[in-house]
Amino acid sequence: MTDTDILDSIDAFLARDVVPHVHRLEHDDIYPEAIVERMRELGLFGATIAASFGGLGLPCATYADIVERIARVWMSLSGIFNSHLIMSAIVQRNGTEAQKRAFLPRFASAELRGGLALTEPDCGTDLQAIRVTARRDGDAYVVNGTKTWISNGIHGSCFALLVKTDPNAEPRHRGMSMLLAEKGAGFTVSRKLEKLGYKGIDSAELVFDDYRVPVDRLIGGIEGRGLQHALSGLELGRINVAARGVGIAQAALDESLRYAQVRRTFGVPIAQHQAIQLKLADMATRTEAARLLVRRAAELYDRGDRCDMEAGMAKLFATEAALENATEAMRVHGGYGYSTEFPIERLYRDAPLLVIGEGTNELQRIIIARQLVARNPV
């Protein structure tokens, strides 16, 4: 199947299974069970998992195109499989052979679905400050602590869990490890977290109370590499979030172009007014520039090259483009942009998450600057 065939199937899925239902599901914050099942049938939970493990083995560039198309229609859907695929990428890149054989086929089939458990109530961007601990006890680790804002926390069943195996280590990252944690005794979901936007997907607080994880679930089999594992997964995650930004920016542009040609003032469509034309031109330029940055980062990822700077650039620019386009789309639509009858208000609520999630845009700027200096020594 060619990339064109894959994208055509995604477009057909969106038109048939998502567009007729998105307004109701999003408005009522309902988890889209039937849509998720259809995504499983399409293989999206194994999109970037190697074919040898039962996945589609898609290149990151194709995956980014898929995410963009889905985000144009309903961004929340992309989050349901993105977090899952970050976990999968961490295992595929860093897991032992036994872990890959045991988990990747189950991830690809969506028998096990889940995500990445990094954030804690007092720790977001500064991952080295996490407090969840994993103490070795015979053939298991005993985990205690709380994670928060975990995507798929309620409906997921397995998570790449960042823990402190040595809380006293210096530097701090040497005491961090990552475990594959399936739900069980001592692992509870304390509550669903309510959000301004990004409805439908569950964001939850997870509590670990003497939760036991077998030692063979330590990703890579060596303690102290958890932060590196997390960062390797976040490269894919940031490309995904950047692609979502392109999708939101494109959707805002599409809606504005359509509306500007049918809404009339002073006897002509508002698309003929220079003030609106300037907005449309800027929106289109931002969208295309963001798309090219995402494509560049995805190409580097596919080559196996380091791309934290490029993924950071794509994430920074594309998400800011989404936020700005959503705001401009509301201005183009006027009062109708503020109405829940039109999708603009949903884009306006969803876009702010993108500049925060997968590392704030302030953090992206720091990453970019540090990499620029490191790559260009005097």
Of 224, 240, 259, the one marking the end of a domain is 224
Q: Is the pLDDT of residue 341 over 90?
A: no
Cβ atoms < 10 Å from Cβ of 115: 25
Q: Is the pLDDT of residue 106 over 90?
A: yes
- State if pTM tops 0.85: yes
Q: What whole-number distance in Å separates Cα of residue 81 and Cα of residue 201?
A: 10
Of 108, 137, 159, the one marking the end of a domain is 108
Cα-Cα-Cα-Cα torsion 318, 323, 328, 332, nearest 10 degrees, comes to 100
Cα Rg of the chain, angstroms: 21
Instruction: Give the pLDDT band (50/70/90) at residue 359.
Output: confident
Angle CA 200–255–286, to nearest 5: 95
In this structure, are 129 and 214 located in the same domain?
Answer: yes
Q: Are 364 and 316 in contact (CB under 8 A)?
A: yes
Instruction: Classify residue 363 by burial, with Cβ atoms within 10 Å: 0-12, 13-18, 19+.
Output: middle
Q: Is the pLDDT of residue 357 over 90?
A: no
Instruction: Kindly name the residue from 68, 120, 358, 362 that is annotated as catalytic.
Output: 358
Q: What percent of the chain has pLDDT over 70?
A: 100
Q: What whole-number distance in Å separates Cα of residue 304 and Cα of residue 253?
A: 33
Which residue range forms the structural domain that includes residue 232?
228-375
Domain count, the chain: 3
288 is catalytic: no
Q: Dump pLDDT digits (tens) for 134-158.
A: 999 999 999 999 999 999 999 999 9
In this structure, are 232 and 205 located in the same domain?
Answer: no
CATH number for the domain harbouring residue 309: 1.20.140.10
In this structure, are 212 and 311 located in the same domain?
Answer: no
Q: Are 64 and 294 in contact (CB under 8 A)?
A: yes
In this structure, are 9 and 101 located in the same domain?
Answer: yes
In this structure, are 247 and 186 located in the same domain?
Answer: no
Of 108, 137, 163, the one marking the end of a domain is 108
Secondary structure element (H or E) that encloses residue 38, with its range: helix 33-42
In this structure, are 168 and 125 located in the same domain?
Answer: yes
Q: Is the pLDDT of residue 306 over 90?
A: no
Looking at residue 232, its pLDDT comes to 87
In this structure, are 200 and 266 located in the same domain?
Answer: no
Reading the block at residue 247, the tokens are 């999708």
Residue 96: C-alpha distances to residues 91, 92, 137, 141, 177 (Å): 8, 9, 21, 18, 14
In this structure, are 277 and 338 located in the same domain?
Answer: yes
Q: Dump pLDDT digits (tens) for 65-88.
A: 999 999 999 999 999 999 999 999
The DSSP 8-state label assigned to residue 194 in this structure reads P
Which SS3 state, helix, strand or coil, does residue 43 take?
A: coil
In this structure, are 352 and 324 located in the same domain?
Answer: yes
In this structure, are 215 and 234 located in the same domain?
Answer: no
Q: Per this entry, what is the length of the chain? A: 378
In this structure, are 95 and 212 located in the same domain?
Answer: no
